[in-house]
Amino acid sequence: MAKTEKDGKSRRELITLGSAFGLMGLAAAGTGGALFKYMFPVVSYGTPQKFLIPLDDLPDVGDELIFDDMKVVLRRQTETEVAAISLVCTHLGCTVNRVETGFQCPCHGSQYDSDGLVVGGPAPKTLPWLEIKNVPGGQIEVDTGTSMPEGTFYAVV
C-alpha cells in the first residue's frame, strides 16, 4: 500500500479522511443556514393598503378600536391624538390577539406589551406603528405600508 512521505498514512486513508471532513462541513453549513433562516425569516406581510376611517368613528379617548380586516388597532390617546399599530406578528406574519397585557401571537407564542414591544417568544422586533394622515371629508387615512417610530401619535383635525 502506498504511503505518503510525511506522516505515513496511505493515500486512500487521506482521501477518506478528507471526504469525511468535507461531508461534516457541508452538514454544518446546511444546519447553520437553516438556523440563520429561522432567526431571520423572510416574510411577506401581504400588500400594504391604505384605508379610511371617518372621524365620527374614532374610538373614545383612552380606548381602542380593532380593524380585523386590515389587521390594525387604532388607539385614541386624547381628543385629538390617535395612533395605529399593526396586528401582524413580526415573526412569521400571523395576526396577534389583543390581550390584557398587550398582544399575543397564537402561532408560536410571541408576546408584546401594549405598545407592541416584544416581551417574549421568537418575534424579532416591535409591532409596527403606522402612518396616519388627515384627509378631506372628515376622515383619517391609515397606511399599513408605512411604519413610524414606536409611540408616534397623530393630531386629527
**Closest among 119, 123, 120, 139 to 74, alpha carbons compared:** 139
Given candidates 82, 85, 105, 132, which one binds ligand FES under the rule CB under 6 A?
A: 105
Contact 23, 30 (CB under 8 A): no
Is residue 37 at the binding interface for ligand FES, with CB under 6 A as the rule?
A: no
75 counts as binding ligand FES under rule CB under 6 A: no
Contacts of 43 (CB under 8 A, 6+ apart): 91, 92, 93
# residues contacting ligand FES (CB under 6 A): 13
Binding of ligand FES by 117 (CB under 6 A): no
By rule CB under 6 A, what string of x and - marks binding of each residue 79-98 to ligand FES?
Answer: ----------x-xxxx----
Nearest to 134 by CA among 112, 103, 104, 156: 156
Residues that bind ligand FES (CB under 6 A): 89, 91-94, 105, 107-110, 121-123
